[in-house]
Amino acid sequence: MAIIYNESKKTFSLQTLNTTYQLKIGNLNYVKHLFYGPRINDEDLIYLIRRYDRGFSGNPYDSLKERTFSLDAQPQEFTTQQQGDFRINSIEVQNADGSFSFNGRYVSHKIYSGAFTLNGLPTAFATENDTVDTLEVVIEDAVTHVAVTLLYSVFEEKDIIMRAARVHNGGEGMIRLKRIMSMNMDYLNGQNLDLISLPGRYGQERQVERQMLTHHVHKIRSGRGISSHQQNPFIALAERTATEEYGSCYGFSLMYSGSFLAEVELDQYDQARLVMGINDRLFSYHLEAGEDFDTPAVLMTYTHKGLARMSHRYHDFFRDNLNRSKFVMDVQRPVLLNTWEAAFFDFDDVKLLKIAKAAKDMGVEMIVMDDGWFGKRDDDNSGLGDWFVNENKIKCGLPSLVEQINALGMKFGIWFEPEMVSEDSDLFRAHPDWAMEIPGRRAVRSRNQLALDVSRREVQDYLIESINRILDSANIYYVKWDINRAITDLWSNDLPGDQQGEVSHRYVLGLYRVMDGIIKTHPDIMFEGCAGGGGRFDPAMLTYFVQYWSSDNTRPLDNLKLHYGSSFVYPISSMGAHVSTASPMVPIETKAAIAMCGTFGYELDATHLSEEAVARCKAMSDLYHKYYDLNFFGDYYRLANPFEPVNLVAWETRAKDMREALVTVVTVNLTMNGPQEYIKCKGLIPDQRYRVEGDGNVFFASGMALMHAGIPIPREVPEFTAFMYHLTAVE
């Protein structure tokens, strides 16, 4: 079993291959957190907690005259409310009598095989090769009978623990959840921890910031209704001395696609507390007697072997345990060309076929028809919501167009933006109440469109039916699912006024139901997510989409930073990346090498390329297939940090058996008469001899030499040159 309950010590030890997480039923039946770190034997670590009489830190009444027990200084698994703990908390509930209080104490637990599931929310699943056990610990308030079930699924071989919480209203009246976090994590020593997060903005998503914890509350949040360009629902806490290869690192990735919150507080005693879950801003959820509320899941991992090992854990887990689509592992994804930057809204079936014929010589295997094919849609002011083919553009009809593309030996893809509506649309004219708009106020426009109230069942049913009708009408191989604005004006005409605080979360639940009804019912279609680029790139989305469009910014040098930041948690196989005409000073080969640090494709008009450019693209498309398995399934190493003043940016993908690797190097700053520079490899077999082919040369070296001496990178080259070094083990 991956979970050991020691009845005499009242400890629960959650054991993965390399880690131990321990909690304990402690004083007065409060559930304490004891340890998360390298794997240890089943022993009670309560000795770590020392108790003192803390001034102005109160004591539970039933501790009687014992002044050394205060929840304000004790590590907990899930916090109380108004019980003397003044730190950031896990729950805020307004009880039926109007009081704000929750005093949760242990009442029961159970352990079973398999992973837990949540009502309406995506979770990770166990594969046939995984050993997974689940612990449920119930804490309850004896006065209100509000109970919280703490859920832990332990993926033993993957070194991942999935956590969530379930609130049950066991009382007789309605309660209101004002705040409910998915998890709480306490650290006895937090003064030497750094917080790593992935902030950004539109076009510059998932940059990297690392800051030391100070005696404040550090907030990472989105209040935009989506997980957002500005923040990502991932953080890491790392020892201040932790590097890519050494030091303790704790990763936390929230499986939620709406407004989220992660808070970290370094308290008065240098203890650290992390909570993570749904953003409590504009949130209030009614629970009638007998009803439950499930929080989204958090995927946690720990390693003492540095940031790269943390990333590898997430990469493997996201590939194996989030999405059952055959396109994740079993079917090689085609080289695609998206028509957006080739045509924008100005296209018809004849133009699309012309682009497809030209693109075929580039090694392109699939044409994706982007925005503008439906309703009355000649610009972004109209048509959204009218999911029927505009036959003034697609004159031959969609089935015929797809057949003609297929006849070229190419696959066909199509773009949707299901969650939005234009005021100039048949849908809005028929159902203006389906758009989110607060009564008496005009809604905020963004990209000249409004958000549909996807929390409503009839809106969900309309989207499922209308989009499935299109998907079932032709041989569609791929769908790009977009959303191009944040969610504002939170209001549902389907809910009473005192439940409007539920709209944001109900929207997310409704979206998952729509995706269940469209994506999960079309296993032979490859789905890619998009939110104006990477504005809703999160692990919950990856349970539906095999890949996610990383950014609308296709400038290759910008993408060096974007891919670097994304790689802290997301694998290459999930990151959509294309070659475009942006940054004309950068060679096609360099653009392609950077796009191969992603799922690879093109975003350009193939009819405007020279024969030479077409041939160069074809060579890069062939390389994408040659290195597909290495890039998609190998271990990824960050070799040079583009956020530092470097002359070279580099990364490596290495096969699991360590006998093959691909090292990619991009020159970003050539200095006159500069020094010789070297890139050191990682993850090789020290005494194995490797053949190294790249920069027009072949040489042989041991893994030890390549890791500690490195590969010399040529200097006398044009700016922004890329090198790809292929390493293969030789006998």
Q: What is the pLDDT of residues 688-709, one digit of tens each?
A: 999 999 999 999 999 999 999 9
Q: What is the pLDDT of residues 405-442, one digit of tens each?
A: 999 999 999 999 999 999 999 999 999 999 999 999 99
Q: Which pLDDT score is estimated for 438?
A: 97
Q: How far is CA 239 from CA 114, 311, 514, 643, in A?
A: 32, 16, 41, 20
Is the pLDDT reported for residue 713 higher than 90? Answer: yes
Look up the pTM and report it.
0.97
- 386 catalytic? Reply is no
Q: Which pLDDT score is estimated for 406?
A: 98
For residue 8, the one-letter residue type is: S
Of residues 372, 321, 308, 326, the one with CA closest to residue 346:
372
Q: Kind and range of the H or E element at 141? A: strand 132-141
Average pLDDT rounded to a whole number, residues 380-409: 98
Which two structure tokens, joined as six digits, stand for 671?
Answer: 């200095």
Q: What is the pLDDT of residues 488-517, one digit of tens each?
A: 999 999 999 999 999 999 999 999 999 999
Q: Which pLDDT score is estimated for 28?
A: 95
Are the C-beta atoms of 225 and 259 separated by less than 8 Å? yes
- 482 catalytic? Reply is yes
Residue 201 pLDDT level (bands cut at 50, 70, 90): very high
Q: What is the pLDDT of residues 448-485, one digit of tens each?
A: 999 999 999 999 999 999 999 999 999 999 999 999 99
Active-site hit among 320, 538, 552, 635: 552
Q: Which pLDDT score is estimated for 65?
A: 80
Residue 8 pLDDT level (bands cut at 50, 70, 90): very high
Q: How far is CA 217 from the centre of its chain?
A: 23
CB-side exposure of 315: number of CA atoms within 13 Å?
23
Active-site hit among 316, 482, 605, 635: 482
Q: Tell me what percent of the residues of the chain surpass a pLDDT of 70.
A: 100
Are the C-beta atoms of 90 and 103 separated by less than 8 Å? no
Domains of the chain: 3-321 (2.70.98.60), 334-419+459-484+512-630 (3.20.20.70), 639-730 (2.60.40.1180)
Max CA separation in the chain (angstroms): 87
Rounded to the nearest 10 degrees, the angle between the axes of helix 398-407 and helix 349-360 is 20
Average pLDDT rounded to a whole number, residues 247-259: 98
Q: Which pLDDT score is estimated for 284?
A: 98
Q: How far apart are CA 140 and CA 501, in angstroms?
A: 25
Q: What end-to-end distance do the CA atoms of the chain give, in Å?
A: 41
Q: How far is CA 701 from CA 150, 326, 337, 659, 685, in A?
A: 52, 38, 39, 13, 11
Instruction: At 363, give phi and psi (nearest 5°).
Output: 90, 10
Per the prediction, the chain carries an average pLDDT of 97
Q: Which pLDDT score is estimated for 599?
A: 97
Rounded to the nearest 10 degrees, the angle between the axes of helix 556-566 and helix 588-595 is 20
Q: Which pLDDT score is estimated for 66?
A: 85
Rounded to the nearest 10 degrees, the angle between the axes of helix 457-471 and helix 503-518 is 30
Q: What is the pLDDT of residues 328-374, one digit of tens each?
A: 999 999 999 999 999 999 999 999 999 999 999 999 999 999 999 99
Q: What angle do CA 153, 541, 307 make, to 5 degrees?
A: 65
* Secondary structure of 226-286 as H, E, C letters: CCCCCCCCEEEEEECCCCCCCECEEEEEECCCCCEEEEEEECCCCCEEEEEEECCCCCCEE
* Residues pairing with 140 in the sheet: 105, 147
| Per-residue DSSP letter, 502 | G
- 58 class by beta-carbon count within 10 Å (0-12 exposed, 13-18 middle, 19+ buried): middle
Is the pLDDT reported for residue 1 higher than 80? Answer: no
- Strands 579-580 vs 601-603: parallel, antiparallel or unpaired: parallel
Q: Which pLDDT score is estimated for 322?
A: 98
Residue 55 pLDDT level (bands cut at 50, 70, 90): confident
Q: Which pLDDT score is estimated for 671?
A: 83
